[in-house]
Amino acid sequence: MRKWHELTSVEIDELIQAGFETALLPFGSIEQHGKHLCVSYDTLIAERLCEDIGITLEKSFLLPTIPFGLSDHHDEFKGTLTFSYKTIESLFDDLITSLEKNGLKSLIIINGHGGNYPFLKKYFEQKKTTLKVFHDAEEQYIFKAQLMDSNLTRSELGLHGGLYETSMALYTHPKMVRTEFMNYQNKYTEMHSIQDILSNGLKKYYAEGIIGEPKNSNIELGKAFYDYLTSFYLKELHDQK
């Protein structure tokens, strides 16, 4: 895998002529993750996944990251920087046109933020492009990896800033976790649907900005989740070949 933004125009041209036709795109968000996790974690995890997945993909480029996502439902908390649906839609329209003009054939989108899934699903159902596009909006791997063979319930795993995400952050980006602030009493109950949260904002239901309890998060669990997550992508991308 070669990093697009570290190459010259001539080098990119030569690589494309040599059969480099796939681009990986990390897509994240900048949004509050409670008092213990940094605002960019969804972006950092998308980048980390792209780097680890990209190693196994021959003749591929890593594109610069889209660091912002759809985080309206977090905008009552400081630190959230969100793009509107319209802005993200225009951004993808323009990026896809550019990739087509460069002669690329396929685009793999690795998404680190749950709130981006409804966009990806709707957008690519309608979008006409010559690119073959992979994204996991149907499968939602970042949530699916929670359900690996552990004895933990969904409520223990949590959704946003909970045990699952915080453990993974401790494994992939330990400096981004304030371990002294992990001690919440805030169990995830599934009383409110994701759609309720997306429509009405998180603060209405979860005043502290997280869904779940990160207090027992640890690196070993984080590694197990992360390995599960990468294995979903690697299997899917290899099956597609």
Of residues 111-170, those binding Zn ion (CB under 5 A): none
| Burial (CB count <10 Å: 0-12, 13-18, 19+), residue 225 | buried
Tokens of 208: 């502290």
**CB 37 to Zn ion: min, Å:** 7
42 binds Zn ion (CB under 5 A): yes
Three-state DSSP class for 77? coil
Count Cβ atoms below 10 Å from residue 239 Cβ, excluding itself: 7
**Region from 40-48, 50-58, 98-106, 169-177 binding Zn ion, contact rule CB under 5 A:** 40-48
Pick 60 or 65: Cβ nearer Zn ion: 65
Closest residue to Zn ion: CB criterion? 42
Instruction: Label residues 64-91 b or e (16+ Cβ within 10 Å = b).
Output: ebbbbbbbbbbbebeebebbeeeebbee
213 binds Zn ion (CB under 5 A): no
**CB 16 to Zn ion: min, Å:** 34
Say if residues 66 and 25 touch (Cβ distance below 8 Å): yes
Pick 42 or 213: Cβ nearer Zn ion: 42
Pick 4 or 48: Cβ nearer Zn ion: 48
Task: Give the residues lining the site for Zn ion (CB under 5 A).
Answer: 42
